[in-house]
A and B are shown apart, each in its own frame.
Chain A
Amino acid sequence: MLRGRAALVRGRLWTRDRGRVRPRSGIVSLALALLSAAGLAWALSVAFAALRGLDVGEPVARALLGWLFTATLTGVLVFDLHQALAVLVAAPDLDLLRAAPLSRRGLVALRLLDALPQSLPIVLTLALPAALGYAVAYGAPAGGAAMVALALAGLWLAPLGAGLALALPLARMLPPARARDLLGMLATFALVAAWLANALLVPRAGLEGLSGTPGAGALAALPPPPGWLPSRWAADALATRFAEPGAAVFLALAALAGAALAWWSTDRHLAAALDRTLDAPRRAGRGFGPARVARSATAAFLARDARLFGRQWSVAADVVAASLLWLLLPLFAVPLVPAGRTDLARAMLVLLAIGIGYEVGARALALERRGLAWARLSPLGPARWVRGRLAGVAILAAALLLPATAAVTLGFRLPPAVVPRLLEWACSAAAVSISLGLLTGAAFADTAWSHPRAMLSLPGRLAGLALLLAQVGAWLALPALGVHPPPGGVLAAGLALSALAVAAAGRTLAGRNL
């Protein structure tokens, strides 16, 4: 059985085709993870070495290490717990495993063996580089690798055990078809947490950096994490090179307790959660009345989109949450880049528009799942299909942009005369971003997605992120560079770019094998 699971992992990394080894997409993820971990370890070793040279003392470095470990702890809970839960209760091989001659305990062990590694990436890409960086600057603990492994085990198993103990009873209680939605909501929670951390911490860190006081004064005030956190114990244990047994003992107990909690909660709840998953009650479509055949394809698209979007509430909630965050983002940059009220309002609306393209446009085609095949089967053809999707996303964008414009105008007490100009910029940015999002989706949509924030393949997500950054840069740079197009000019340029991107999306979809 273990050999079978190892073969599955190998299969994600490479394949053999007539004797030749070919890499698969999983190897790109692994390479990126290794690269980022190595880069972070190097950067942190430089940072810790710099701290050692400053007159702030070892406790500050220890506090910094503690906060990096606390970030890992939080990351496991908000980013990776739902991945583990997805493998536990929503993996495609569950039927097969349940039919296999396995004892209940055997099944639990196998599921945990599959699920727990899903929550390892953040430990390996954040906590491990932090521990290595610290060890390079301050020396490795006695017992080296084993001691670091113990510290990481505590950081990994403690939050995971607690998280599974909380989440599995929920999966057991929820209607089974909604298990995926639960995972989606956890993903949205992760997004909001990451965004808030980014929005609140990064500008302040930047401010401190810009003010030229990153040294002793600022760092000396860094408090250690609370003493009841395993991250504090891990940092103390590494910093004292495990000379003080208290922290190490607490850490070992936390790891053991986490593992026991993961086992106990899985053993107790998994069977019931799986029973519900495999014995799904029928759920009626609600709120839309009897199905009527639309008079046009566009009307049919809009009716379908309203149903799909309204019934995938985890995706809808994710879109609304993400839109709010995009709208608010410029406010957090004000301490860094002071701006007038009109400029700030425009930046907020433009960022919301770009966010809609990134969040909604890029996911619109993937949201159709296997139904996307009708883009190639039906006489409409892929180009018309993309335009139909554009109509649905544009309506949603209008529903988000118009209230946002009203809120921003009233909130900043802007004169009504600036509203048309604000809307022109917002609409233009929305047209470009939605079209580029559709193009990204046409090229990289993963119709078998299981995670609302991973509806595109990994290269697609990277491409989407690059396009997002390029758009943010371009739209924010235009006014800063003194470019002031005549009224209507921004909209005309945006619509022209949008038309090109939509046409390219149609061609891309036509060329994809579905």
Chain B
Amino acid sequence: MSEPGPAVRLAIRGLERRFGAHVAVDGVSLEVRAGEIVGFLGANGAGKTTTLRCAAGLLKPHAGAIEVDGHALDREGRAARAALGFVPDRPYLYERLTPPEFLAFVAALYGVPPAVAEGRIAAMLSRLAIGEAAGALLETASLGTRQKVAVAAALLHEPGTLLLDEPLAGLDPPAAFTLKQLLRERAAAGAGALVSTHQLEVAERLCDRVVMLRRGRVVASGTLAELRGARGDATLETLFLELAAEEGA
């Protein structure tokens, strides 16, 4: 959990996941290195969420290997999960807890010492401006507050690897700004982050590299400059439309 860690924070090799006859993820391989924020792009249904859910241990892959901070997820699950923070597209919350109660529970799950955890919870509530909603049960919280709580829960144990599925969805501009700041801070401290997003300008500004997925397969990977190649004036949007967008999209 604390830096410095391994040079490769997340390694996914040959990942396959099917739903019935439908192949959602078809041989995806990617790496997230320490200090790096990687954008994970693709059209709806490209396989981003499935890949992230497999990497978080929520879905069993049909083939392939996943390593988190050098720990194989299938064989050293405990160590791998301890090094991982996951922000899902729909937060996993306990509706009848308040945000501080929920965060205290999550901190205990990760074995964060109480004194440290209480300090971090207070800091997160303050930085993400959850304070006003802190006294209400999560079932009555707004979409944005729920997303902020999910982000705070993923960061509480200061994981070396972060997986974020559309983390900016539902956030107001100040919260989105704070989240981007938090991600940069974590990356500066040596963590690696894989961020799925449809907001290409966010990926362009926030991410060091991008991985593009199309129909469950990686179709492009690299820095924006590498992807541009000879077309120096291409934007991420035009590259995305060329490489990863579905016909008619």
**A, B: real partners:** yes
Seen from chain A, the residues whose Cβ lies within 8 Å of a Cβ on chain B are 17-18, 22, 177, 280-285, 288, 290-297, 299-300, 303-304, 307-308, 311-312, 368-374, 376-381, 511, 513-514
| Contact (Cβ within 8 A) A282 B58 | no
B59 and A513 contacting across the interface, CB-CB below 8 Å: yes
Contact A291 B100 (CB under 8 A): yes
Per a CB cutoff under 8 Å, which of A280, A304, A370, A513 touches B140? Answer: A280
The reply to whether A308 and B110 contact each other, CB–CB distance below 8 Å, is no
Q: Give the distance in Å from the alpha carbon of A332 to the alpha carbon of B156 in the complex.
A: 54
Question: Separation in Å of the B180 CB from the closest CB of chain A?
Answer: 23
Residues of B contacting A381 in the complex (Cβ-Cβ under 8 angstroms): 77-78, 81
- Bound: A292/B59 CA distance, A: 32
Q: Which of B88-96, B193-201, B223-231, B232-240 is the interface stretch?
A: B88-96
Say yes or no: A377-B121 contact (C-beta < 8 A), given A291-B104, A292-B114, A370-B93: no
In the bound complex, CA of A303 to CA of B108 (Å): 11
| B162: interface (CB < 8 Å) | no
| CB–CB B93/A297 < 8 A | no
- B77 contacts which chain A residues (CB < 8 A)? 381
> Is the pair A308, B96 in contact by a Cβ cutoff of 8 Å?
yes
Is B108 touching A374 in the complex (CB atoms < 8 A)? Answer: no
B103 CB contacts on chain A under 8 angstroms: 291
- Note all chain B residues with C-beta closer than 8 A to A22: 20
The CA of A282 and the CA of B109, in the complex, are separated in Å by: 27
Nearest chain B CB to A109 CB, angstrom units: 30
B96 in contact with A300 (CB, 8 Å): no
Known contacts A285-B135, A381-B78, A307 near B96 by CB under 8 Å: yes
The 10 listed contacts between A and B (C-beta, < 8 Å) are A282-B136, A291-B121, A300-B104, A304-B105, A307-B97, A376-B56, A376-B57, A377-B57, A378-B110, A381-B81
Q: Which residues of B contact A (CB under 8 A)?
A: 20-22, 56-60, 77-79, 81-82, 84, 86, 88, 90-98, 100-101, 103-112, 114, 117-118, 121, 133, 135-137, 139-141
Partner of A379 from B81, B104, B114 at Cβ < 8 Å: B81
- A373's nearest neighbour on chain B, judged by CB, is B92
Residues of A within 8 A of B56 (CB): 376-377
Whether B97 and A304, one on each chain, are in contact in the complex, defined by CB atoms closer than 8 angstroms, is yes
Q: A369 to chain B: which residues have CB within 8 Å?
A: 94-95
Interface centre among A283, A290, A374, A379 (most CB of B within 10 A): A379
Chain A nearest CB: distance from B102 CB in Å?
Answer: 8
CA distance A303 to B135 in the complex (A): 17
CB <8 Å contact, A285 and B92:
no
Residues of A within 8 Å of B88, CB to CB, are 373
What distance in Å separates the Cβ of B16 from its nearest Cβ neighbour in chain A? 15
- Chain A residue numbers with a CB within 8 Å of B95 are 369
Q: Are A379 and B117 in contact (CB under 8 A)?
A: no
CA of A378 to CA of B92 in the docked complex: distance in angstroms? 12
Contact check: which of A282, A293, A299, A377 meets B86 at CB < 8 Å?
A377
Chain A nearest CB: distance from B107 CB in Å? 5
CA distance A177 to B78 in the complex (A): 37
Inter-chain CA distance A291–B97, complex, in Å, is 10
Distance between Cα atoms of A294 and B108 in the complex (Å): 6
Q: Is the CB of B92 within 8 A of A374?
A: yes
Nearest CB in chain A: distance from B37 CB, A: 21
**Measured between alpha carbons, how far is A13 from B93 in the docked complex, in Å?**
31
Closest residue of chain B to A300, judged by CB?
B108
**Other A-B pairs, 5, CB within 8 Å; known A291-B103, A300-B109, A308-B94:** A177-B137, A281-B140, A283-B136, A307-B101, A376-B56
A378 touches B97 (CB 8 A): no
Complex A-B, nearest 4 residue pairs according to Cβ-Cβ distance, in ascending order: A300-B108, A282-B136, A379-B82, A291-B100
Q: Is the CB of B92 within 8 A of A304?
A: no
Instruction: Tell me the complex Cα distance, A369–B82, Å.
Output: 22
Asked if A293 contacts B94 (CB within 8 A), the reply is no
With both chains docked as a complex, state the minimum distance between the C-beta of A83 and any C-beta of chain B, in angstroms: 22
Contact present for A293 and B121 (CB under 8 Å): yes
- Indicate if the CB atoms of A308 and B140 lie closer than 8 Å: no
Q: Tell me, in angstroms, the Cα distance from A377 to B106 when the chains sit together.
A: 10
B156 to chain A, nearest CB (A): 10
What's the minimum C-beta distance from B44 to chain A, rounded to whole angstroms? 19
CB closest chain-A residue, reference B97: A307
